[in-house]
Amino acid sequence: MSTTVAPAPATRKTPPLEDHVIVIFGATGDLAKRKLFPGLFHLFAAGLMPEEFRIIGSGRNAPGDDDDFRELVREALEEFGRRDVREEIWEPFAKRLSFTASSAGDGEELAAAVRRAEQAIGHATRRLLYLSVPPSAMKPMVRMLGATGLVAGARLIMEKPFGTDLASARELNAVLREVVEEDQIFRIDHFLGKEAAQNILAFRFANGLFEPAWNRNHISHVQIDVPETLTVEGRANFYEGTGAFRDMVVTHLFQLLGFVALEPPVRLTPKALHQEKAKVFDAMRPLRRDKVILGQYEGYRGEQGVDPDSQVETFAAIEVKLDTWRWEGVPFLLRTGKAMAEGRRSITIGFKEPPLRMFADDGDFAHCQRPNELVFELADTPRITVDVRAKVPGPALELGAAPLTLDFADAFKEGNGLEAYERLVLDVMRGDHTLFTSSQEIERLWEISDPLLQDPPAIRTYRRGSWGPDEAIALAGKRGWRLPEAEPC
């Protein structure tokens, strides 16, 4: 039994954007290739870029001349993009692309290239500077942007993780304050740009149905689960300095937890949302070492660029508790890891059983006793499922599992629906901070994480292609993790 309903594509038009000169630092890196250039290309093809724009790639090492860089971008679009690279779209996009090398110690040539691009457009333009570089490079790069004047009137996107602990996050915030105003800074966490993440807010606050039940009286647990089949292939340099907890937990998983747990904001403005999210993080109890399982997949130490004695975790599962009236006693279970059995990103809201089990003796139903669950799938084509129990048609009063599914796949056909980076880069061009994170939130999350990171539990080995260490499976208790999915009844 299931029902699928696809909401109609959005038709609302947005106001025209200012013309832009965009600089991508880390333009030869993994993120730029996988997401940023394909995202910018999609925005262009969908008519969502400004009338006039230039994109300047930058990094310490040039891939060659501008044509070599364009070739690199084109290959990235062909490998990772979600639309065909048709000549009539590629040609005008490519002519707006160039590369100028820069480093923390030398940004003069880049500053000159930006000024030339602005002059070529010929009238007032907005600068967008995207720091897609490792955390260790952020502080010196920000200083360079200040020293060269590149930050003047610019909007600055800071990739995650923002620092690697509380002290470094505070230092980075302090350096930023020396060179830019707060409203110029966009601390990105791309999970908040995913359609399904925003749908948590829509579900909760645009319906009368869910919010009354959104509390400890009705919800028994929440799971935020992001297993990945990817290994750290090609990213060992970055990953050895971060690990799963800094890469995913302190960033994406905690931010999603913030959306699930926050109190209704007075309105949907950046300030109100950030305030409510910050209150959730304030209410987080210190993490218990016995409720944190860290793992490393077999063979990680043999990956190119990985220390043969590496103690870096590629897996983390933790239980978080919140000291609030709404959530007292409700465990939030978070899990993520590389080289796991499946690649999924899901948030499961597990509801309590009805007080009276009238149907409890139904033998056929006994193997699928999972209570109601509301599941947000944060896939590229998002899906929301409400698992209910219903009567199976027939002469007897037999129960079966009935998933009610909202499938957004159609909205993601060319032109409709934006992937996270597309949406967030567009928001930056509009100057909208709603889906970005604040310095207060980030510092608090490091404050919660620091004791654990300074004295982590032992790392357990897990098999590639598995669901992580056994201890992590046990962490979810008798109800278990929703993934791998229970057999339908």
Ligand X SMILES: NC(=O)C1=CN([C@@H]2O[C@H](COP(=O)(O)OP(=O)(O)OC[C@H]3O[C@@H](n4cnc5c(N)ncnc54)[C@H](OP(=O)(O)O)[C@@H]3O)[C@@H](O)[C@H]2O)C=CC1
Ligand Y SMILES: O=C1O[C@H](COP(=O)(O)O)[C@@H](O)[C@H](O)[C@H]1O
Residues contributing to the site for ligand X (CB under 6 A) = 26, 28-32, 34, 59-61, 104, 132-135, 137, 141, 159-161, 190, 235, 237-238
30 is in an annotated binding site: yes
User: Taking a C-beta distance cutoff of 8 angstroms, is the pair 449, 275 a contact?
Assistant: no
Instruction: Provide the residue type at 67 as one letter.
Output: D
SS3 401: strand
61 binds, among ligand X, ligand Y, none (CB under 5 to 8 A by kind): ligand X
DSSP-derived secondary structure letter, 217: T
Determine, following the binding rule CB under 6 A, whether residue 474 of this chain makes contact with ligand Y.
no
60 is in an annotated binding site: yes
Give ∠ CA 28-31-35 in degrees, rounded to 5.
110
337 binds, among ligand Y, ligand X, none (CB under 5 to 8 A by kind): none
Determine, following the binding rule CB under 6 A, whether residue 345 of this chain makes contact with ligand Y.
yes
28 is in an annotated binding site: yes
User: Taking a C-beta distance cutoff of 8 angstroms, is the pair 400, 365 a contact?
Assistant: yes
Beta-bridged to residue 391, according to DSSP, are 399
Q: In what order do the strands lie in the sheet with 20-25?
A: 97-99, 53-58, 20-25, 126-131, 154-158, 185-187
Q: How far is the CB of 447 from ligand X (least distance, A)?
A: 20
User: How crowded is the C-beta side of 151, counted as CA atoms within 13 Å?
Assistant: 22
Q: How far is the CB of 392 from ligand X (least distance, A)?
A: 44
28 binds, among ligand X, ligand Y, none (CB under 5 to 8 A by kind): ligand X
Q: Please identify which of the residues 20, 42, 252, 274 carries the catalytic annotation.
A: 252
If the CB atoms of residues 173 and 255 are measured against ligand Y, the closer one turns out to be: 255
134 binds, among ligand Y, ligand X, none (CB under 5 to 8 A by kind): ligand X
For residue 295, which of 338, 333, 257 has the smallest C-alpha distance?
338
H-type alpha helices, 389-487: 420-430, 439-454, 470-475
Torsion sign (Cα): 244, 270, 418, 258: positive
Residue nearest to ligand Y (CB): 247
30 binds, among ligand X, ligand Y, none (CB under 5 to 8 A by kind): ligand X
Q: Assign residue 399 a region: left if phi > 0, alpha if psi is -120 to 50, beta otherwise?
A: beta
433 is in an annotated binding site: no
User: Taking a C-beta distance cutoff of 8 angstroms, is the pair 132, 160 a contact?
Assistant: no
User: Taking a C-beta distance cutoff of 8 angstroms, is the pair 141, 110 a contact?
Assistant: no
170 binds, among ligand Y, ligand X, none (CB under 5 to 8 A by kind): none
Distance CA(53)–CA(44), nearest Å, equals 10
User: Taking a C-beta distance cutoff of 8 angstroms, is the pair 470, 317 a contact?
Assistant: no
Q: Kindly write out the interface string for residues 226-245 of this chain, putting x where it contacts ligand Y by CB under 6 A and - elsewhere.
A: --x-x---------------
Query: Is there a catalytic annotation at residue 252?
Result: yes
Q: How far is the CB of 337 from ligand X (least distance, A)?
A: 15
If the CB atoms of residues 60 and 279 are measured against ligand X, the closer one turns out to be: 60
228 binds, among ligand X, ligand Y, none (CB under 5 to 8 A by kind): ligand Y
271 is in an annotated binding site: no
Q: How far is the CB of 83 from ligand X (least distance, A)?
A: 20
For residue 352, which of 326, 334, 367, 372 has the smallest C-alpha distance?
372
For residue 321, which of 249, 255, 257 has the smallest C-alpha distance?
257
32 is in an annotated binding site: yes
Distance CA(69)–CA(103), nearest Å, equals 17
Interface with ligand Y (CB under 6 A), residue from 165, 247, 313, 319: 247
Determine, following the binding rule CB under 6 A, whether residue 266 of this chain makes contact with ligand Y.
no
If the CB atoms of residues 225 and 319 are measured against ligand Y, the closer one turns out to be: 225
SS3 177: helix
For residue 348, which of 257, 478, 245, 411 has the smallest C-alpha distance?
257
105 is in an annotated binding site: no
228 is in an annotated binding site: yes
Tokens of 246: 């800094």
Q: How far is the CB of 247 from ligand Y (least distance, A)?
A: 5
For residue 343, which of 185, 484, 163, 475 has the smallest C-alpha distance?
484
Q: How far is the CB of 305 from ligand Y (least distance, A)?
A: 15
Residues 201-230 that bind ligand Y (CB under 6 A): 228, 230
Q: Kindly write out the interface string for residues 150-189 of this chain, putting x where it contacts ligand Y by CB under 6 A and - elsewhere.
A: ----------------------------------------
Q: How far is the CB of 230 from ligand X (least distance, A)?
A: 9
189 binds, among ligand Y, ligand X, none (CB under 5 to 8 A by kind): none
For residue 322, which of 250, 247, 260 has the smallest C-alpha distance?
260
Q: How far is the CB of 36 from ligand X (least distance, A)?
A: 9
Tokens of 379: 């896939």
26 is in an annotated binding site: yes
Positions at the binding site: 26-33, 60, 160, 190, 194, 228, 247, 338
Catalytic residue ranges: 252
Q: Binding residues for ligand Y, per CB under 6 A?
A: 190, 228, 230, 247, 345
Positions at the binding site for NADP(+): 26-33, 60, 160
Positions at the binding site for substrate: 190, 194, 228, 247, 338
